[in-house]
């Protein structure tokens, strides 16, 4: 089996109650997030994680596909419950997921990865991992967010149209069970930050995200708006100085580097 759950649970630490309720493994699946949302619809609980060696239909932001050819990469989706002021709190989950990914990589000695808003993982200005947050349903003041992450691990060839934008990590030669440890640390950290979101720790979350991100001042396009990245506002939205000199708040969308 490509994934050792004993090592995963050992790396997860304690207490485990409420953090991970079930781990589902697939040698191959269309999409870990699609599979997880089906399971939630059939009664699975928050805390469920789905992990695959390969995906045939991995998804990225804005409807893009996620290249999933290498069976040594990490493909994982995790369901986490968010409660309270859903309208304000759900948009912060992508930031939490990005911070958690950087923390997991740093624990493996990989410190050069930076975040592009809200949660793309960049290595030398190329995408080495991506995170997609989806919410299959919201009930009053409660929602279960499905957070999917793909990280390219180990030397691999990308299709020609991705070669200039995609990268891969190269763990040390003696590193074993990297996927298990990355998964455990990411889930534990994501759970921590989401608990903080629900306990009014948004300022701390945003401060920490800015410690993990690429420098502001990049010239970018988001939708039909172009400008320079300035900062995040108090709600975690990206601030741009547009070509017209106005300060624009970006609530979401794909940030494309133009510089």
Q: What is the pLDDT of residue 71?
A: 67
Task: Report angle CA 144, 150, 155 to the nearest 5 degrees.
Answer: 170
Average pLDDT across each block of 10 residues of the chain; the chain has 259 residues. List them in order.
94 85 95 96 96 83 54 91 94 97 94 93 93 90 96 76 75 76 97 96 97 97 96 97 96 92
Q: Is there a single domain that holds both residue 252 and residue 181?
A: no
**How many CB atoms neighbour CB 200 within 10 A?**
11
SS3 annotation, the chain:
CCCCHHHHHHHHCCCCCCCCCEEEEEEEECCHHHHHHHHHHCCCCCCEEEEEEEECCCECHHHCECCCCCCCCEEEEEEEEEECCHHHHHHHHHHHHHHHHHHHHHHCCCCCCEEECCCEEEECCEEEEEEEEECCCEECCEEEEEEEEEECECCCCCCHHHCCCECCECCCCCCCCHHHHHHHHHHHHHHHHHHHHCCCCHHHHHHHHHHHECCCCCEEEECCEEEEEEEECCCCCEEEEECCCCEEEECCCCEEECC
Domain of 64 in residue numbering reads as 5-212
Q: Is there a single domain that holds both residue 63 and residue 100?
A: yes
Q: How far apart are CA 201 and CA 193, in angstroms?
A: 8
Q: Is there a single domain that holds both residue 122 and residue 241?
A: no
Q: Is there a single domain that holds both residue 43 and residue 108?
A: yes
Cβ burial, residue 214 (10 Å; 0-12/13-18/19+): middle
Q: What is the domain-level CATH number for residue 44?
A: 3.30.930.10
Task: Report angle CA 65, 55, 162 to the nearest 5 degrees.
Answer: 40
Q: Is there a single domain that holds both residue 169 and residue 230?
A: no
Q: How far apart are CA 233 and CA 249, in angstroms?
A: 8
Q: Is there a single domain that holds both residue 86 and residue 180?
A: yes
Q: Is there a single domain that holds both residue 197 and residue 128?
A: yes
Q: Is there a single domain that holds both residue 41 and residue 139?
A: yes
Q: What is the pLDDT of residue 69?
A: 60
Q: What is the pLDDT of residue 162?
A: 66
Q: Is there a single domain that holds both residue 121 and residue 229?
A: no
Q: Is there a single domain that holds both residue 109 and residue 11?
A: yes
Task: Report angle CA 149, 185, 86 to the nearest 5 degrees.
Answer: 60
Q: Is there a single domain that holds both residue 132 and residue 225?
A: no
Q: How far apart are CA 153 and CA 14, in angstroms?
A: 27
Q: Is there a single domain that holds both residue 79 and residue 155?
A: yes
Report the domain count for the chain: 2
Q: What is the pLDDT of residue 66?
A: 53
pTM recorded for the entire structure: 0.92
């Amino acid at each position: 089996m490509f994934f050792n759950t004993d090592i995963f649970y050992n790396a997860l630490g304690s207490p485990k109650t409420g953090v991970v309720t079930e781990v589902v493994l697939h040698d191959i699946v269309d999409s870990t997030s699609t599979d997880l949302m089906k399971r939630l619809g059939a009664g699975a609980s928050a805390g469920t994680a789905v992990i695959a060696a390969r995906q045939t239909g991995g998804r990225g932001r804005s409807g893009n596909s996620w290249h999933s050819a290498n069976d040594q990469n990490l493909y994982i989706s995790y369901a986490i419950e968010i409660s309270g002021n859903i309208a304000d709190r759900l948009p912060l989950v992508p930031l939490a997921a990005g911070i958690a990914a950087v923390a997991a990589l740093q624990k493996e000695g990989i410190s050069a990865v930076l975040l592009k808003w809200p949660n793309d993982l960049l290595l030398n200005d190329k995408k080495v991992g991506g995170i997609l947050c989806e919410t299959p349903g919201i009930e009053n003041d409660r929602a279960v967010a499905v957070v999917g992450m793909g990280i390219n691990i180990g030397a691999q060839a990308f299709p020609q149209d991705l070669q200039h934008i995609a990268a891969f990590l190269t763990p040390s030669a003696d590193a074993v069970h990297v996927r298990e440890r990355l998964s455990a640390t990411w889930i534990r950290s994501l759970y921590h930050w989401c608990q903080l979101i629900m306990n009014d720790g948004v300022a701390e979350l945003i401060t920490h995200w800015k410690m993990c991100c690429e420098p502001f001042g990049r010239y970018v396009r988001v939708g039909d708006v172009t400008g320079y990245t300035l900062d995040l506002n108090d709600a975690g939205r990206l601030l741009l100085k547009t070509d017209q000199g106005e300060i624009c708040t970006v609530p979401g969308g794909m940030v494309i580097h133009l510089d």
